[in-house]
Amino acid sequence: MSYARDLTAIRALIASHKRWDHVFALCGLAALMVGVLTFTALFADMAIDGIPRLNWEFLTNFPSRRPAQAGILSAWVGTCLVMLVTAFFAVPLGVATGIYLEEYAPKNWVTDIIEINITNLAGVPSIVYGLLALGLFVYQFGFGQSILSAGLTLALLILPVVIVATRESIRAIPQGIREGAYALGGTQWQVCRDHIIPYSSAGILTGVIIGMARAIGETAPVITIGALTFIAFLPPAPVSAEAPFISFDWVMSPFTVMPIQMFNWTSRPEAAFLQNAAAAGFILVLMTLAMNGLAIYLRYRIRRNIKW
């Protein structure tokens, strides 16, 4: 009888714990649906207002004081060029820093302080980076209100994200892979080059693209450094027909980006400009979703091709 009572008590305890598991799962699902449904509602409202305005002229026209003739050509070109500069500086520096801190740096109080500061920098408001860039890049270094200044500002913004993502991806690699490589006579650099970087590349790539997706929608930093709200010309082309065929004049060119163009349109009282802003926002969200979708696809392909 005692055994039966104990067995019944154990079953009751297990059932009670399972009920709490179901309650927690329902709470998590409700929290998830709040975020998903909110985004879906906002995106649907933006699509309803903006899709009728989408056409080829909207993508290829410059901004105009007439809403029916206004387009986003200079804005999306400027956005692409700024993202190019951002990736050029943030990705190599962030990945190299993450590898050094995780594989090479000695474990002492100095590296502890660096790690704490990097983690804290990931949560600093973006306007702070804009003020830093205004004093450092625009005035101190003399880069002015250029694509280079904007790219460096956003690179500083996403640099902590790239570093943290790189370190977390490296930490996920089993220690046995390192020990096996060292046992076969590999140097520390060979272990990093042939094992650590390839195996962690999926997570690193995901962190990089998520950071870029954050940077593409930032407005405060680029407004702080003086991005133009109305620009009716394009930067010089990166490729020319004359030797040396590659030009970097576009790096120092004035610019605008899509969030600023949207801000300019929403500040106008005409309803047609609000429709233009909704259309530009719809395209910007699609670009962000495409970048995140690319991250998921590349992560899946890389993980499928890697054999542990």
Q: Is the pLDDT of residue 63 over 80?
A: yes
The Cβ-side half-sphere exposure at 254, using a 13 Å CA radius, reads 9
Domains: count for the chain: 2
Structure-model confidence comparison of residues 84 and 301, the more confident one: 84
Residues 96 and 27 in one domain: no
Query: Average pLDDT of the chain?
Result: 83
Q: How does DSSP assign 61-121, residue by residue?
A: SPP-SSTTT---HHHHHHHHHHHHHHHHHHHHHHHHHHHIIIIIS--SHHHHHHHHHHHHH
Residue 1 banded pLDDT, cuts 50, 70, 90: low
- Residue-level pLDDT at 213: 84
pLDDT tens, 245-263?
677 778 888 888 888 888 8
Residues 254 and 152 in one domain: yes
Residues 137 and 220 in one domain: yes
Residue 9 banded pLDDT, cuts 50, 70, 90: low
Verdict on whether the full-model pTM lies above 0.75: yes
The torsion angles phi and psi of 291, rounded to 5 degrees, stand at: -65, -40
Of 92-96, 114-118, 151-155, 160-164, least confident by mean pLDDT is: 114-118
CB 153 within 8 A of CB 129: yes
Residues 150 and 277 in one domain: yes
Residues 272 and 139 in one domain: yes
Q: Closest Cα to residue 238, out of 27, 113, 81, 88? A: 81
